Amino acid sequence: MAMLSSALGDSLRRRPWAWSFIGAAVVWLLTLGLSNEAGAVQSLQTALFFAMFYAIVGLGQMFVITSGPGNIDLSVPSVMTLAGLVGMAVMAQNNAAILPGLGGALAIGLVIGAVNFGLIALLRIPPIVATLAMSFIVQSVAIAAGGAATLKPPALLNQIAVARFLGVPVLPFLMIAVAGLMVLVLRRTLFGRAVLAVGQSERAAWLAGLNAGRTRFYVYVLSGGLAALAGVLLAAFSGGASLDIGSQYQLASIAVVVVGGTSVLGGRAYPQGVWGASLFLYALVNLLNLAVVKFGLGSAGPGIRLILTGVMIVAIVAIARDAD
């Protein structure tokens, strides 16, 4: 038993991302205890959809954070909003305009990512300040461009977003495959190894002939592009793009990276952990919502839910850190 426990401990230390899946499983079991079996199964299926959006923006944020201490992208929610609005406006509920709308939305994300890096590298503005300022600017543009209207997606795009095969949602599993591809990118490509090397030590990476500035440019552009993709897919899934479509994804995009085992100091990342943390975060919010209704907490529910969400995220990060 002692040997088994030691082997399990060693395995978890080598795979800190596994804690996010353990946390998701525990929360789902608690959900099962508060609801009937059918409700828990339905919750798990719904979690795949909503966790997907956390995972998409989380993967972009993961590359940014991995590229070195202090690097972060706080423009994620505004990019999602503007990209979703522009994408839906170009599509104008026309199935034939899906590709141009998607291309326009992605271009917006890529450009904002490039501008973020320009503010950081050329003007020497700290990333947290530069990307937060850009978030305000982009959100203001979205307000001016979209107003209070909800822009509907084309019927075909909505069908693609919610498509199921044999009762299993298709799009989330495609995004899981993307996360698997990101693992290969980090471990097997020159770009991925450059991100890890720059994050571990910029000077050592420079001595090895790597260009830290170019690497960080790519990760900020990637983050912007993935945020834009998430905005379009969320608009398609939820039935339209509005000004608050990305509001809950700023802290969530960071939480899923940290809970998933990625080091906030840079140089270590686990794309698979981002997915586990996304499932954990959505399942946790769902469990707390269920508990609020179950125990009749009423108006105190939202505040209690936010407090417990924060406490549980801190707890799982602390456990994973101590076990690392």
For the chain, the distance separating the N- and C-terminal CA atoms, rounded to the nearest angstrom, is 21
The percentage of residues in the chain with a pLDDT greater than 90, rounded to a whole number, is 37
Find, among 58, 52, 110, 62, the residue nearest to 250 by Cα. 58
If one compares 188 and 13, the residue with the highest pLDDT of the two is 188
Question: Could you tell me which residues come within 8 angstroms of residue 252 by beta carbon, excluding any fewer than 6 positions away?
Answer: 54, 57, 58, 281
pLDDT band at 289 (very low <50, low <70, confident <90, very high): confident
- What is the predicted pLDDT for the residue at 312? 65
> What pLDDT score was predicted for residue 4?
47
Domains of the chain: 16-323 (1.10.3470)
**pLDDT for the residue numbered 75:** 94
Angle at CA of residue 104, ends 103 and 109, nearest 5°? 95
Res. 12: pLDDT tops 60: no
Q: If you average pLDDT over residues 231-246, what whole number do you get?
A: 88
Compare 323 and 51 and report the one with higher pLDDT: 51
Write the burial class of residue 206 (CB in 10 Å: 0-12 exposed, 13-18 middle, 19+ buried).
Answer: middle
**pLDDT score for 311:** 72
| Residue, of 74 and 299, whose pLDDT is higher | 74
What's this model's pTM, rounded to 2 decimal places? 0.88
- 212-228 tens-digit pLDDT: 999 999 999 999 999 99
pLDDT of residue 39: 57
Residues 277, 283, 287: CA angle, nearest 5 degrees: 145
Which backbone phi and psi does 151 adopt, to 5 degrees?
-90, 120
Which of 19-33, 98-112, 120-134 has the lowest average pLDDT? 19-33
Tell me: the pLDDT tens digits for 118-152?
999 999 999 999 999 999 999 998 888 766 667 88
| Cα–Cα distance list, 262 to 1, 120, 239 (Å) | 30, 22, 33
Burial of 183 (0-12, 13-18, 19+ CB in 10 A): middle
Mean pLDDT for 26-41 is 70
In this structure, are residues 80 and 235 in contact, taking their beta carbons and an 8 Å threshold? no
- pLDDT of 110 higher than 80: yes
Check residues 262 and 323 and name the one with the higher pLDDT.
Answer: 262
Q: What mean pLDDT is reported for the chain?
A: 83
